[in-house]
Structure formats: C-alpha cells, structure tokens
Amino acid sequence: MLETLHKKLKSWERSIRKSFGDDISTPQGRRGAWWHFQIFDHAFLRVLWTNFYKVADGVYRSNHPSPKRLEKYHEMGIRTVLNLRGAEQQSHWLFEKEACEKLGLDLVICKIYARRPATREEMLHLIDTLTTLPKPFVLHCKSGADRAGLASAIYQIAVEKKSVAEAKKQLSFRYLHIKSSKTGVCDYILDLYEERLKHGHIELRDWFDTEYDGQAVRNGFDDGRRIPL
C-alpha cells in the first residue's frame, strides 16, 4: 500500500513539474520558471550549500549553479561549464544557458546518470570531453554529489593518473554521496574497473571502449554489486 501511494505521489509530482517552467521569454513565464527552479529543482537549498570543491588545478565541481553563482565563477576566471544533467527544456537549463550566454561562458553537455550507468557512448563522450576541455572549468550535476563525483573521479584517473582508490574519494559522504543507495552504481563502475586492473593494466578509456557494457553493469549492480570473476 505504501509503495502504491509513493508511486502515485511521484507521478503527481512529475506531472506538476512538467506542467510549467519551460519558458523564460515572457515576464509571466519567467516568474513561473523562477518558482519552478526554486521548488522543483530545489534551487533554494543551493543558495548557501554549493558543494563547490577543487578537483585538480583548474578543475572544480559543484551542484547546479544559479546565475548569480555563475557570475562568481566567471570572476574566478572560470570560462567553461560542463553540465552533466543534459539540455532539458526546463527552468534549470534555461536559466543556466541564458546566464552562460550573457557571461560568455562556454556551456558543454555530457549527460550521465546518478542511479543507472550511462551507455558506452555516453561514457566515452564524457572521458573525451574531460581530457580535452580547456581549463579552468567547473563540472556540475544537480546536487554535486553523484554524477559530479563520478566525473571528478574519472578526470583524476584519466588525466591526473591517480589510483582508483584515490579517485574514489570523489564519491564520498563529504559531498553527500551515499554509497548504499541507488547512486552507489557510480561507485560500482569504479569497482569494476579496479577489479579489472588486477588482471592486467588497461587505460580507463580503453576499458570503456572495449569492455564496458552499461546494461551488464546495471544487471550486476541490481544483483547485489556482483563483481565478475
């Protein structure tokens, strides 16, 4: 019964969230989008809590920045924003896109997920972007905990050549990442790569390109984070 009620509430919340907040071209639409951004995207929680940290020289991570925070990043010298959420026609994307255009910030999209593994193509796109993006840049997801943590770890492994164990620190409760939840799939991806290294060295990109299978990763995670022998 409780599960049914939860599903109904989620469905109701989703229908309300999708019913407005997709237009900032008129004063009325802009007001609605602002409230949508604050309430449904939880922007009000991110006013003081930014989850902003340094990943490496010229590389930073954060939760979804407001237009005012993007101004501060611009003042810091940051010139590129890597959005891990995707270009959805909703308030959070519209305000970010507008602010980046106004400030002259390059806005780059690499969509990945917090509760399920991305496809091979999506992961390759992410790693290629991380290894070629001019610094300084900031990468972000919604909360700055899960997708931002995985992308930061990937950057440290692929570019900084840090160990997987060291890079895993980017996925910790310090950033409000909870390994025991469904977002633990981000940790599981790194666990699989770390286990693979025990059988011989392979660069992270090569592993994604030749051995990574998003559906197999999802199945293994659903099966209790089973590590292949």
The pLDDT of residue 18 is 73
Q: 136-146 pLDDT, tens per residue?
A: 999 999 999 99
pLDDT in tens, 96-120: 999 999 999 999 999 999 999 999 9
Domains defined along the chain, listed by start: 48-222 (3.90.190.10)
The pLDDT value recorded for residue 20 is: 78
| Residue 168, CB-side half-sphere exposure with 13 Å CA sphere | 15
Chain length of the chain: 229
The whole-number pLDDT of residue 2 equals 55
Q: Is the pTM higher than 0.85?
A: yes
Q: Where do we find the tokens 């989008």?
A: 33
Residue 114 and residue 202 in contact, taking contact as beta carbons nearer than 8 Å:
no
Q: What mean pLDDT value characterizes the chain?
A: 93
Question: What is the C-alpha separation between 191 and 170, in angstroms, rounded?
Answer: 13
The continuous run of DSSP H or E covering 103 comes out as helix 91-103
Q: Report the pLDDT value the prediction gives residue 9, as an integer from 0 to 100.
A: 56
Per-residue pLDDT, averaged over 191-209, amounts to 97
Q: How far, CA to CA in Å, does 66 sit from each of 38, 69, 140?
A: 10, 5, 11
CA 220, 226, 229: angle at the middle one, nearest 5? 110
What pLDDT score was predicted for residue 21? 84
CA 203 and chain centroid, separation: 22
Q: Mean pLDDT across the stretch 162-191?
A: 97
